[in-house]
Each structure stands twice: as C-alpha cells, then as structure tokens.
Amino acid sequence: MSAITRDAASVITIEQAGQHDAQQVTLRGWLYNVRESGKLLFPIFRDGTGIIQGVCSQKEHPQAFEALRGLTQESSVIVTGIIRSEKRAPGGYEIGVTKVEIVQKVPESDPYPIQLKEHGVDFLLDRRHLWIRSPRQAAILRIRAEAIRAAREYMDGQGYTLTDAPVFTPAACEGTTTLFEVNYIDDQKAYLTQSGQLYVEATAMALGKVYTFGPTFRAEKSKTRRHLTEFWMLEPEAAYADLSDMMALGEGLVSHMVQSALKNRQRELETLKRDTAKLANVRPPFPRISYEEAIRILNEHGNSAKMGDDFGGDEETLLSSEYDRPVMVHRYPAAIKAFYMQPDPQRPDLALGFDMLAPEGYGEIIGGGQRVHDYDLLVKRLRENKLPEEAFQWYLDLRRYGSVPHAGFGLGLERTVAWICGTEHIREVIPFPRTIYRVYP
RNA sequence: UGGGGCGUGGUCCAACCGGUAGGACACCGCACUGUUAAUGCGGAUGGUGGUGGUUCGAAUCCACCCGCCCCAGCCA
C-alpha cells in the first residue's frame, strides 16, 4: 500500500470523515459521480464505508480539476483534501479536493454499465458483481454482516457451541425431490445438505448446547420473493430442552439481531429508508399462540383456514399483521409437520413444534421444536414417511445410546435480514443470490 | 408443476383493434463558482428475443420455441 499512500497517517475512510473536521486527509476509493457547475466540480466519492461529496475549484486547484473533469464513473481514485462541515453537502461533510491520483480510469469506450438511474431487475442481477457497489446494496450487505455477528454473539453468550454440519450428505432429511444430487468419488452419489439439523442433534448429545451456521440447498421450484436455492441457516439444538426453551431462545436471538442492527447499522438503515419505528418494538416477549388459536383468529378475519390446514403466505401475513413484533405459532397438527417432531403428550395429534412469523408479510423466519427421542416411535415415523432406514442408522443411534428429550430450530438468515432491511425481495440480501434459474455471476 | 404478466437503441419506457419505430437518460461538444440522479443549448450512434405463418404491408395478429418477472404449492 505504501506505494500509493505516501502518508499513511492521514488516510481515513469516509465513515470517519466527521472525526477529521478541518483536517487534511486522504481517501482511497472510487468515483461515484461528478457534477459540473462552471469552474466548480462536485465529485462524489465512495470507498465502501460511505459516500462523500467533494468540491474542486478550477482556479484554486487546476491540476485536480482537470483530473476530475469528465472522469468516468467508477474510476478508482486517491484524493487528498480538507474535510469540512458543510450543510449543503449530502451527509453533512465534504472534502475540498486539492490533489487527485487516478489509480485506474474506466475507459470512455467501455463505461461503467450501471447508471445512477432506474434499471430492471434482470439487468442488475446479471451485473450483481457491480451492483453491490451501489450505496443501497452495500448497506444491505453491512446489515447482513451485523445480523450474523449479533446472532453468533447471542448464541455464544447463551452457552451454545458452534459445531458445523457437513455440506455433502448421504440422503435427504425430508424427502428427495428438493435435493441437489452431486457426483461424489467413484460414481457414488451425494447430496447437498438441506438442513444441518440431523447432525446438530448428534453434536448436541456430545456437547449439550450447540448450533450450526452455514449454507443449505434446496432444489425447490419456488420462484417467489421469499425463496433462494442456496441460503444460510442458523440451527441451534440443545439436549434436555423443550418447546418453551426454544421459543424463548428464538425470541431472544431475533430480538438481539434486530436491536444490534438498530444500534450499530443506523446509517445503513437510513440509506434503505427503513421505517425503524417498526423494528424498535422487537423485544421479548413475543406473542405465542397455538395453532388452534391461530385458526380461530384467521376465521374471525374471514380466512377460511380449517383444522388440519397448513398456513400459506396469505395466512402468515394475516396472522403476523395482528402484532407489532414476530409471533410464534406452536403445536401444529403432527400430520403436516416433519417426521422427527415430538408429539404433544396431552394431544398426540399435535406436534411440539413452532414457527416464528416475521411482521410485515416477511413470512416464516424460524421453524423448529422438540424432536422425537424415543427409538421405536422414530422408526415408526421413518417407515410412515417411506424414508430409507439404512441411511438413518446413525441418526437412530442417537436414540439407542443415551437418548434424551431435546429441541432446536432453524432460522433463515436471508428472510430475517430481508425483514430487517425492508427489502422487496430476498435476493437482495445475499451477495450472490442463487435462484432456480440463476447461477450467474 | 399450475395461474397471470412481460421481452422495442447501452439503459428505462412509448407506439400494439396492422400502414414511415419515437422519447427520456447515458455518450460527445459548449455555457454556468454551490451542485444534490445539477441545469440549459447543440450533436452523433444505435433497436422490435427466435423460428415459421396470415397479409400488399407485422413491434402490432396466429403458432411454436427461448428468456425473465409475479403469485400459488413446498419450505427458511
């Protein structure tokens, strides 16, 4: 770096500009835009931490002026100047440019394709590697990073140990139609994981309270704003834990993620024009309603859902609109839930599971509950679901050797971040989204 | 996999009950010392997703194909 930053002491990032009022500093970044007004130029610089307006006078700094005049968008530049408080500048500060070093000029014959104008989704997604430079996309990615940091901070603080699950798996955990099959060594077949859950149950029996955090893959033909084929999931699991323990953990985790974003990424939420008043209430306790209560609420609002139905997008949106924070729906009918869900001893037709529904129509962000810990019952469920028992022998071992009641859940990172950011579509909250018809770039 | 919608210059759109494909932005030039996706004036480039059909004539009508978007199912 020293080759291009003679005086490292004065190099700052744009987000630090406010701490250097009236000082000479050097910024290293890219030219976001230039406005011309006679013998004054107003270049806008970005460096990944923010954007700042510059001012350059032809009369006072002719060399810098000539370097910037007509310079192409996204050319990389190192600029030196005086930071000053300026209420006419976006952000409240500007840099009076005295010196400009062009690191690479974007050629005029091949200009930066993304203009400061409206573009279609397909155009932008084809150029996702460049789109992420825009202030809005950069803000989203910073909020995503904060959500991950806060989630791990919370889990670690609750005594949970991170234990990673494999990406290659031998079989499905819930059916085979949505699995990505890959060629493994010597003509073996393997599948990309749909969930780390089965493995995290094993590590919970080894370490007590654990979680996984990693990518999961689903070859679902879903083409909605809530679906990706590759998404990240955080999955806690705890031995000797029950349904209510997991609902408490879920509300604590989600609250901490939201409150951390509000506290540490306020500027980015402003960039997104997110109505943060709607996030401020997201603190424990979250409402908990049973499936049967949920059906009653839906019916009172004219929805025709009846006992035994699973909830779709309409039902989720209607239910969540009743509350100012996420709502947890528990004890669904066992028939519509996964084979590993523990039945309610009071009501064996109900499963000790729960979903957490985010407000504002963002849908299910958590699904989980107690797992079947009885060997015979689990075998019965595997057979009922026509799952290959051989592939689940290791999973059955967990019920053979010191089985205990246990519970956990999966939190969908992108849905949670999409809700925090208030984005229209989930694909904006992951650096390089993978959807059913898109694997580029 | 169903239902609905959309493919027009580099980009975003208009023309679509058939009749000369147009605008804005971007780009280039000039003017402007406080601009806010700057503005004003001037200029050059460049397009109907593909194949076939109907017709004197197709961006427009028809068939098939390709691509994309939204919704549903499934799920996080």
Written as one string, the DSSP assignment of A41-109 is EEEEEE-SS-EEEEEEETTT-HHHHHHHTTPPTT-EEEEEEEEEE-TTSTTSEEEEEEEEEEEEPPPTT
**Residue A320 CA, nucleotide B3 C1', distance (Å):** 26
Confidence band, pLDDT 50/70/90 cuts, at residue A441: confident
Cβ of A400 less than 7 A from strand B: no
Pairing mode, if any, of strands A93-104 and A168-169? unpaired
Confidence band, pLDDT 50/70/90 cuts, at residue A417: very high
CA distances from A327 to A282, A362, A363 (A): 10, 12, 10
Q: Tell me how crowded residue A188 is: count the other CB atoms within 10 A of its CB.
A: 10
Phi then psi for residue A205, to 5 deg, are: -70, -20
Residue A175 has pLDDT above 80, yes or no: no
Residues 260-289 of A with CB under 7 A from strand B: none
Cβ of A335 less than 7 A from strand B: no
Residues 77-116 of A with CB under 7 A from strand B: 86, 88-90, 94, 108, 111, 113, 115-116
Cβ of A174 less than 7 A from strand B: yes
Question: Which residue type does A325 have?
Answer: R
Mean pLDDT of chain A: 91
Confidence band, pLDDT 50/70/90 cuts, at residue A173: low
Q: What is the DSSP letter of A332?
A: -
Cβ of A303 less than 7 A from strand B: no
Q: Where in chain A is the domain with CATH 2.40.50.140?
A: 2-104
Q: Which of A159, A156, A154, A152 is nearest to A208 (CA)?
A: A159
Residues 310-329 of A with CB under 7 A from strand B: 310, 312-314, 316
Task: Retrieve residue A264's tokens.
Answer: 């540490």
Residue A27 has pLDDT above 90, yes or no: yes
Contacts of A118 (CB under 8 A, 6+ apart): none
**A196 or A305: which carries more pLDDT confidence?**
A196
Which nucleotide has the shortest C1'-to-CA distance from A355? B76
Q: Report angle CA A60, A64, A68 to the nearest 5 degrees.
A: 125
Question: Which residue type does A303 have?
Answer: N
pLDDT in the model for residue A2: 42
> What's the rounded mean pLDDT across residues A407-415?
95
Q: What is the pLDDT of residues A221-278, one digit of tens each?
A: 778 888 899 999 999 999 999 999 999 999 999 999 999 999 999 999 998 999 999 9
Which nucleotide has the shortest C1'-to-CA distance from A89? B36
Confidence band, pLDDT 50/70/90 cuts, at residue A8: low
Cβ of A42 less than 7 A from strand B: yes
Residue A409 has pLDDT above 90, yes or no: yes
Q: Which of A94, A142, A420 is nearest to A134 (CA)?
A: A142
Which nucleotide has the shortest C1'-to-CA distance from A120? B12
Confidence band, pLDDT 50/70/90 cuts, at residue A1: very low
Residue A440 has pLDDT above 90, yes or no: no
pLDDT in the model for residue A437: 79
> What's the rounded mean pLDDT across residues A293-300?
91
Cβ of A125 less than 7 A from strand B: yes
Q: What is the pLDDT of residues A278-292, one digit of tens each?
A: 999 999 999 999 999
Note whether A46 and A33 are within 8 A (CB): no
Q: Which of A115, A111, A110, A108 is nearest to A133 (CA)?
A: A115
**What ipTM does this complex have?**
0.87
Task: Retrieve residue A308's tokens.
Answer: 């035994």
**Residue A126 CA, nucleotide B60 C1', distance (Å):** 30
pLDDT in the model for residue A307: 85
pLDDT in the model for residue A3: 47
Element (H, E) at A130: helix A128-131
**Residue A120 CA, nucleotide B58 C1', distance (Å):** 27
Let me know if domain A2-104 sits in CATH 3.30.390.30: no
SS3 A29: strand
Cβ of A74 less than 7 A from strand B: no
Q: Where in chain A is the domain with CATH 3.30.930.10?
A: 129-429
Task: Retrieve residue A279's tokens.
Answer: 């996030």
Distance CA A65, CA A57 (A): 6
Q: In the beta sheet, which residues pair with residue A343?
A: A351
Pick from A27-31, A188-192, A271-275, A336-340 the range whose average pLDDT is largest.
A27-31
> What's the rounded mean pLDDT across residues A69-73?
89
pLDDT in the model for residue A174: 54
Pairing mode, if any, of strands A11-12 and A209-217? unpaired
Topology of A129-429 in CATH?
Answer: BirA Bifunctional Protein; domain 2 (3.30.930)
Q: What is the pLDDT of residues A355-402, one digit of tens each?
A: 999 998 888 999 999 999 999 999 999 888 888 888 889 999 999 999
Distance CA A228, CA A251 (A): 24
Cβ of A145 less than 7 A from strand B: no
* Chain B positions with a protein C-beta closer than 7 Å: 1-2, 10-13, 25-29, 31-39, 67-76
> A283-305 b/e with 16+ CB inside 10 Å = b?
eeebbbbbbeebbebbeeeebeb
Could you tell me where the beta strands, DSSP code E, fall in A171-287?
A: 181-183, 189-192, 209-217, 230-239
Residue A324 has pLDDT above 60, yes or no: yes
Which nucleotide has the shortest C1'-to-CA distance from A59? B33
Q: How many residues does chain A have?
A: 441
Which nucleotide has the shortest C1'-to-CA distance from A121? B69
Task: Retrieve residue A254's tokens.
Answer: 């989600």
Q: How many CA atoms lie within 13 A of A128 on its CB side?
A: 17
Cβ of A225 less than 7 A from strand B: yes
Q: What is the pLDDT of residues A182-216, one digit of tens each?
A: 888 888 888 899 899 999 999 999 999 999 999 99
